[in-house]
Structure 1
Amino acid sequence: MERLAEAVAAIALLAVMLGPLKSLWQGVQGTALRMAWPWCAVAWGTWGAALVVRITGVGEAGLQHALWYVAAIATLAPLVAILGGRWPTSRVWSLFVVLPLLLVLLWPVVAVIVGLARWDRFELEAPMLLGSLLVSVMGWGNYIGSRWTMPALAGLVGQIALLISLTPEIAADSLSPDSCSLLLCGILCAGSLWVWYWGRQSSQYLAYEESAWIEFQQLFGIVWSRRIQDRVNEVAREKGWKVRLGSRGWLDGNGQSVSLSGVETGEGLEPRGFLEWLLQKFVEPGWIAAHQPPEQ
């Protein structure tokens, strides 16, 4: 009966994630993040395989723990891919950054496959744990401070718990890899639903003058957004513009929201044109137009 309950729960979890996966594919069209979507599909498939092994009880505990670890690392792949989401870098980022990083982090599993370690007892050593934690913080942390802060924090906590549970040197006896992996899987499903729901509410930002900029921040995270914001404000100082770029649009010298239509920006590059020029390194002009208010 317990196996049947786990099977039903696993099928439900995977089915729940199909909707957000499809929605995500639609959401990244016209952006450099299209190359991150296949990694999302890989992560979904990896969790599915791990859950099947869990339900059927095939293999020893070491095999199950190894699959939990593979699923956790696969979850990081799309998050790392997003950090390279800029044209033309995105075209080679997966091949020269994401894939080598995965191979390094998955070395404990590779060691088992080639016979350097035992299947019956899969464990992480401290150096590999530290590397995995660093990548986890980089990937999930990119969305802390955005609309996805809560799912990102939950995902980071779940990821850390699972990785620590696989490291006997520091794991508490009460921290089980099976329970931590199911916790992370549940967090990912809940987070996917959160992203899917709020992603359908993106039209709320059309009330802002620079709604495309706001939506860009939610999609690409704080790393790229901060770099664009710093670049725009650097040029603003050089050109003597009377506005600065904030997270919700343009600001005057006092940090108050202001519309460009009522501000003299000085000679040289026009602020909105320069911002859109920078955004086009990440998204197509059609994407920008689709996320701007109708009157823009």
Structure 2
Amino acid sequence: MVPKNQVFVFVMHIPINPGGVTAAVALLLGVVGIWLLIRIRSGLRGTTLTAAWAWAMVAWVCLVGCEIVIGVCHQLELSIVDNHWRYLAAMGLFLPTLAQVGAKRRHLVAWQLLMLAFWSALSVPVLEIWFLDSAGRSDPGWIWGCFLGLLMIAGLLNNLATRFGPAALCLAIAQGLMVYPYLPWASAPVTTGGALLSMGVLLLGMGMVAFRSQARSEIVRPENQAWLDFRDQFGSFWALRVMQRVNDAAVRYDWGLWLGWDGFHQVEIVGSDPEFRDEVRQGLVACLRKLLGDFVDQEWLDARLPKCDPKKNGMEDLEA
């Protein structure tokens, strides 16, 4: 069996010379990726994830633009330090998943400013070389490499258990290909072949999201449909928080049910009284509308949940 380290070394040394041809290939991949991202954008309508989508577009344009610039510079025989530019582009790949964590409406604007600061902080190893007139390859050290590895794992875990798990895996692989030289066990730089491969993996992931069926099943109850759509779009971090608040409310108001990862489950016999069942349903809908309202607009909620009884009160303290 070939050691994993040798596989990475082989990938990093794919013999593709940067130049006009590779710049053209990068441009072609870039156009396809932009088209896929525009297609994905329609599925995020009515949610606060449009900010994360915008960061994904920025990251993709930076990655593609980096390879185009490198290819053109090599074609014109202009001096350029490839690994510096690729490092900056690679840091952009962490932005979409970080923006997903900050998707709560009331914190949305402040979080975008924090994203800019975080991107700047991630870029410090290269910025130091540029502005302090240092020389050589950027080498942030093994502690910084471990930090980048943890960011990759955290982003992957946040979405792996959702229906977009395969796309999250593609993103993690692309991140690994681009930041491999800065990980503690690195032994090879990223070449043009490795960068183009990471772009291809990202395209595969974007295609999985863009062409995944959004059809709703008539068998799924509206409460479950709203929960599953929220869970898949916003990831495990916010899904677990909402799950906790819903289950707290279920205990407090004696609804006789609980929310699991796959939807709502009844835990006790709640009786056959239609009025009681309707009261539980009204309470559950009110709870979901209040909690999810921090992330989606009314049109998104109305498309998945029945109207809430305006007389249903007593849930002012429910927050995600």
Same fold (TM over 0.5): yes
Is 1:239 the equivalent of 2:253?
A: yes
Q: Distance in 1 between matches of 2:296 and 2:31?
A: 30
Is 1:286 the equivalent of 2:302?
A: no
Instruction: Name the residue aligned to 1:257.
Output: none
- 8 Å Cα contact 1:242/1:263 also seen in 2: no
Instruction: Name the residue aligned to 1:274.
Output: 287
Uncovered stretches (5+) of structure 2, i.e. residues with no partner? 1-15, 269-273, 308-320
Displacement of 1:177 in angstroms is 4.4
**Two-structure CA RMSD over aligned residues (Å):** 2.9
Instruction: Name the residue aligned to 1:109.
Output: 126
Uncovered stretches (5+) of structure 1, i.e. residues with no partner? 255-260
- Say which SS state the counterpart of residue 264 (structure 2) adopts: strand
Instruction: Name the residue aligned to 1:171.
Output: 186
Instruction: Name the residue aligned to 2:83.
Output: 65
- 8 Å Cα contact 2:257/2:265 also seen in 1: yes
**Which aligned pairs between 1:187-202 and structure 2 lie closer than 5 A?**
187-198=201-212, 201-202=213-214
Q: Distance in 1 between matches of 2:306 and 2:31?
A: 35
- 8 Å Cα contact 2:46/2:297 also seen in 1: yes
Instruction: Name the residue aligned to 2:96.
Output: 78
Matched letter for residue 217 of structure 1: R
Q: Distance in 2 between matches of 1:22 and 1:206?
A: 28
Matched letter for residue 216 of structure 2: Q
1:229 to 243, 246, 260: 243
Is 1:143 the equivalent of 2:159?
A: yes
- Say which SS state the counterpart of residue 192 (structure 1) adopts: helix
- Say which SS state the counterpart of residue 251 (structure 1) adopts: strand
1:49 to 62, 65, 70: 65
Displacement of 1:195 in angstroms is 0.7
Q: Distance in 2 between matches of 1:267 and 1:147?
A: 29
Alpha-carbon displacement from aligned partner over 1:152-180 (angstroms, at most 9, x marks no partner): 1232133224323245x63135x644443
Matched letter for residue 121 of structure 2: V
Larger Rg: 2
Displacement of 1:147 in angstroms is 0.9
- Say which SS state the counterpart of residue 216 (structure 2) adopts: helix
Displacement of 1:83 in angstroms is 0.2
Instruction: Name the residue aligned to 2:110.
Output: 92
2:215 to 203, 220, 225: 203
CA gap of 1:31–1:176, structure 2 versus 1, over 3 A, is closer
Q: Distance in 1 between matches of 2:58 and 2:280?
A: 49
Q: How many corresponding residue pairs?
A: 282
- 8 Å Cα contact 2:258/2:265 also seen in 1: yes
Q: Distance in 1 between matches of 2:47 and 2:263?
A: 21
Q: Distance in 2 between matches of 1:76 and 1:182?
A: 18
- Say which SS state the counterpart of residue 204 (structure 2) adopts: helix
Q: Distance in 1 between matches of 2:164 and 2:70?
A: 30
Question: 4+ residue runs of structure 1 moved beyond 6 angstroms?
Answer: 265-269
Q: Distance in 2 between matches of 1:224 and 1:286?
A: 20
Is 1:152 the equivalent of 2:164?
A: no
Q: Distance in 2 between matches of 1:178 and 1:153?
A: 22
- Say which SS state the counterpart of residue 259 (structure 2) adopts: strand
Q: TM-score, normalised by structure 1?
A: 0.84
Alpha-carbon displacement from aligned partner over 1:84-129 (angstroms, at most 9, x marks no partner): 101101121111x2122111111012112203432x5233321221
CA gap of 1:25–1:151, structure 2 versus 1, over 3 A, is closer
CA gap of 1:5–1:293, structure 2 versus 1, over 3 A, is farther
Is 1:250 the equivalent of 2:264?
A: yes
Matched letter for residue 150 of structure 1: P
Q: TM-score, normalised by structure 2?
A: 0.78
Displacement of 1:135 in angstroms is 2.1
Q: Distance in 1 between matches of 2:88 and 2:31?
A: 20
Matched letter for residue 65 of structure 1: N
CA gap of 1:149–1:116, structure 2 versus 1, over 3 A, is same
Matched letter for residue 299 of structure 2: G
Identity %: 24
CA gap of 1:158–1:44, structure 2 versus 1, over 3 A, is closer
